[in-house]
Amino acid sequence: MELDGKEILPPDPPVFQLGQSAPITVERLTGERVSLRLEVARPKSKTRPINLPCPITCVQLPDDIGLLKVTMFPGVVGIDIARDIDHAVAYLRTSNRLIVDLRGNTGGSIGGLRLMSYLTPDNRPVGYSLTKKSAAQGYRREELAQFRKIP
């Protein structure tokens, strides 16, 4: 790829100026080189633009099917995500069935535990506390500390 006449090769990313156009040349798999002009949108605000993904989305589908998508459990602790999951589950409370979409999710934090607590009946533990040392030395599952209550 060429940007403004300069060759760009991986791992270097192309850098485009916001609100500007840039001539680029790309090479197709066939070897054919194509020259284009790339228009980069002007930012809507004067602050640095950032694209923040929405980690929790929910929608009520036809036939009383709820869809809960959890793209990530961000944050050190995840309390905000846990609250977002609570709001999504409250919104979907009239659903007869629920689809939980975790594709691409790396898991972790209290948000993950909160989701698990909704998916387990009664007061079943949603996890066990296992340290690296215990895992290396051997352990008995029934002797591990259990998380029975989600903060």
- Of 98 and 147, the structure prediction assigns the larger pLDDT to 98
Q: Flag whether the pTM goes above 0.85.
A: no
CATH code 3.90.226.10 region(s) in the chain: 56-125
**CATH class of segment(s) 56-125:** alpha beta
Q: How much of the chain, in percent, has pLDDT values that exceed 90? A: 20
Residue pair 99/68 in contact (Cβ under 8 Å)? The answer is yes
Q: What is the mean pLDDT of residues 117-144?
A: 71
| 54-112 pLDDT, tens digit each | 889 999 999 999 999 988 877 665 678 888 888 999 999 999 999 999 887 777 666 77
Helix axis angle for 79-91 and 109-119, nearest 10°, is 30
| Buried/exposed code over 96-134 (b: 16+ C-beta within 10 A; e: otherwise) | eeeeeeeeebeeebbbbbbbebeeeeeeeebbeeeeeee
